Amino acid sequence: MITLPSSLLLVGYGKMGSALLEHWFNHGLTTGAVVVVEPHEETATALRKRHGLTVLSSPSETKGVPQVVVFAIKPQMMEEALPQYAKLGAAGTSSGALFVSIAAGRTIASLTRHLGADAAIVRAMPNIPVAIGHGMTVACASPTVGNTQRELAADLFTAAGAFTWVDSENLLDPVTAVSGSGPAYVFLLAECLARAGVAAGLDEDLAQQLACATVSGSGALLDKTRKTAAQLQRDIASPGGTTEAALEVLMAEPGMQKLLTEAVAAATARARQLSK
């Protein structure tokens, strides 16, 4: 059973923040329990009309201490925004807010510098499929986060898909490279598959339809079955058949595995640069 906070302050209403909020509402979070900080008046007005929420233009208008503060703003905005929320976590884990950040590249240490040494902080990396409730989120918590707060943070993201903890924050860089950036690799696969279909003589619209349905359907099958990706691959690739002929090309040097390994390494390296 998913337990959501009695009071939540959402900072930013972009793609990820709005997607998460919709799932929280679907799991029973009431509009009265949510306050959103959104400085863009057009977005704020639309949000008020859609959900009847309290939307503030500045954190200075915040009253009381929410149970959870979720930072869903761009990383480059964090330096200016964070100090304004330090007072909400000043009481530490006993009565202060739990801070949850989904800003890429912002380490727990950097968040602590602005929010205070006693602040309870969770750094999370969700990926874009949270928009449809099939996301994957990996998170790391500061030592000041209590067990109840860990459970609460986990439930926030379980509402939008799968969730797991890592003990070492350093692992969030390769997590970002595999899971955070990963959907783009899959979309590229669909794009390349469609182009290959056109090159083989298919109409462009049909090639697009086949590629998209194949990628989405295969992902759904992998999610629902208990078999591994390798097992499913073997199920399709009959000896001497068409699939085996194609896989021999994809697995020959340098091959898909080498390219993906290099791609993930490049994304990991970039994530570490951004985290400094």
Residue 8 pLDDT: 96
- CA dihedral 228→234→235→239, nearest 10 degrees, is 180
Which fold would CATH assign to domain 8-169? Rossmann fold (3.40.50)
First to last CA, the chain: 37
- CATH code that applies to domain 180-274: 1.10.3730.10
CA distance 172 to 180: 10
pTM above 0.85, yes or no: yes
pLDDT greater at residue 58 or residue 233: 233
Q: Which two tokens stand for residue 246?
A: 């194609």
Residue 93 pLDDT: 45
Summarised one tens digit per residue, pLDDT across range 60-93 is: 788 888 999 999 998 888 888 899 999 888 654 4
Residues of the chain with CATH 3.40.50.720: 8-169
Average pLDDT over residues 118-132: 96
CA angle centred on 275, ends 159 and 160, rounded to 5°: 5
CA distance 218 to 224: 10
Residue 274 pLDDT: 80
pLDDT band at residue 33 using 50, 70 and 90 as cut-offs = very high
Residues of the chain with CATH 1.10.3730.10: 180-274
Could you identify the residue written with the tokens 């194949």? 214
pLDDT greater at residue 142 or residue 226: 142
Q: For 236, what's the count of Cα atoms within 13 Å in the CB-facing half-sphere?
A: 15
